Structure 1
């Protein structure tokens, strides 16, 4: 088989068209085998969940590189829908909240436990001293427990919509844990994440303008659906910032480190 057109490119892999109805995700050489296995296990663990997602087909080697075949979902991301119709951002923010709440109705056997996974990710952060890491581990240990499925990277570009409904993609980092942490993670992404390079300059200006409004509507709708409070979500801000740090882009790191260091200074005093 010869891979088809490049669909997307990320930090760990490139995604191409494969056969009709499937795509191939080809991993970079430096991606650990254990991370690829975990992604496969995560996707398999979703089989009894109540939402739509791309199904795992098989693992294989392609031209000496490790790869996974997934079901291909032809659709338009919520981000792209907002790009085409930014005036309707309220509708898309509410949809994001409803889909996130739907994820949190589920539990998936075989995925990682959230607090353990957060501490594992923090251990990889070169920007933190060992002392700071230990203090963040303690913070996470003292956070409220939970046992629902969390996506851990839920944002408008990870939802594809078509005539069959909405499909949630990219489950490499999912875990079971506290839903409020997962919402806090999404709010961090909405606050600091760079928009994809293929988004037009005008769209970037528009989305930057509505970013805070979008986040507020998403939060308000999620709180209404779940019965959670803003305080329950806000208390996870530092933990999710620390979790994000090891994979953050250079433009994101300064904001994340300010959040972490401000907390550590306040605790010390």
Structure 2
């Protein structure tokens, strides 16, 4: 099979002209893979522009999922190739996020199968070993005061998870959940602000990419707020618990250290 992409958790292979195989790295939790498979199946029933999911497979003791082959480019690649179009691509990103959040989940069949945002965040905060018990407690107390929501949330929405070919697509639903849009947007802002760039990029190019990413994040936020009734202050309240929950993920130490500094600065202000 021809490899056509990779991330921290999985490699993507061309299976045939119609399907790709997302093959998870050894040691990645099987429970998380099963959840992504289930959520993608549910997403399809809502009419959201996400790739079809076909089946679970096993390849040399690694688990994978066969998805519909989307042959377009991600918005981050589009932006790198056409930096003058940054503002347009940032607007597409914001409008796709708004589209996700217009779906509110109340039916028992769906809500019993998709995790709740605040429950997921609290669980991950409790597992964040870099935080002291008192820090965890303070963050969870803050989280409990935040509003609940019934909106569909992506849980990891960023320009690499939005693709464009003849149409626009939203991929990678591993963290799909039901919750408040402000928390989902907070996650996106943290990814723009603290997400580490891939290794091996020359330092001068990395600096240019970082600046481009900052600009795209600003444009995305401005357009999202324009399209909705949300205020930035509402999103800002979610940054602390969302940052703390991210400490449990498969991310580089550099990013964890940056998040930890942000978390402790916020806690000092409380």
Task: Decide: shared fold, TM above 0.5.
Answer: yes
1:50 and 1:102 in contact (8 A); partners too: no
Alignment length, in residue pairs? Answer: 263
Change (3 A) 1:146 1:68: same
**What is the aligned partner in structure 1 of residue 150 from structure 2?**
147
**What is the aligned partner in structure 2 of residue 223 from structure 1?**
225
**What is the aligned partner in structure 2 of residue 251 from structure 1?**
254
SS of equivalent residue, structure 2 residue 44 = coil
Distance across 2 between alignment mates of 1:36 and 1:212: 31
Moved more, 24-33 or 85-94: 24-33
SS of equivalent residue, structure 1 residue 112 = coil
Where structure 1 has 5 or more consecutive residues not aligned to the other structure, the ranges are none
Select the residue among 90, 93, 97 that pairs with 2:94. 97
| TM-score normalised according to structure 1 size | 0.91
Distance across 1 between alignment mates of 2:24 and 2:213: 32
Distance across 2 between alignment mates of 1:21 and 1:246: 35
Distance across 2 between alignment mates of 1:174 and 1:40: 11
1:24 and 1:69 in contact (8 A); partners too: yes
**What is the aligned partner in structure 1 of residue 187 from structure 2?**
185
**What is the aligned partner in structure 2 of residue 162 from structure 1?**
165
Where structure 2 has 5 or more consecutive residues not aligned to the other structure, the ranges are none
Select the residue among 113, 120, 124 that pairs with 1:121. 124
Select the residue among 150, 175, 178 that pairs with 1:176. 178
Question: C-alpha displacement at 1:265, in angstroms?
Answer: 2.7
Question: C-alpha displacement at 1:113, in angstroms?
Answer: 0.3
Select the residue among 235, 238, 242 that pairs with 2:237. 235
SS of equivalent residue, structure 2 residue 169 = strand
Select the residue among 209, 212, 217 that pairs with 1:210. 212
RMSD: 1.9
Change (3 A) 1:195 1:145: same
Select the residue among 1, 5, 14 that pairs with 1:8. 5
Distance across 1 between alignment mates of 2:84 and 2:16: 37
CA displacement, residues 241-267 of structure 1 (integer Å, 9 cap, x when unaligned): 112111232121222111211222333
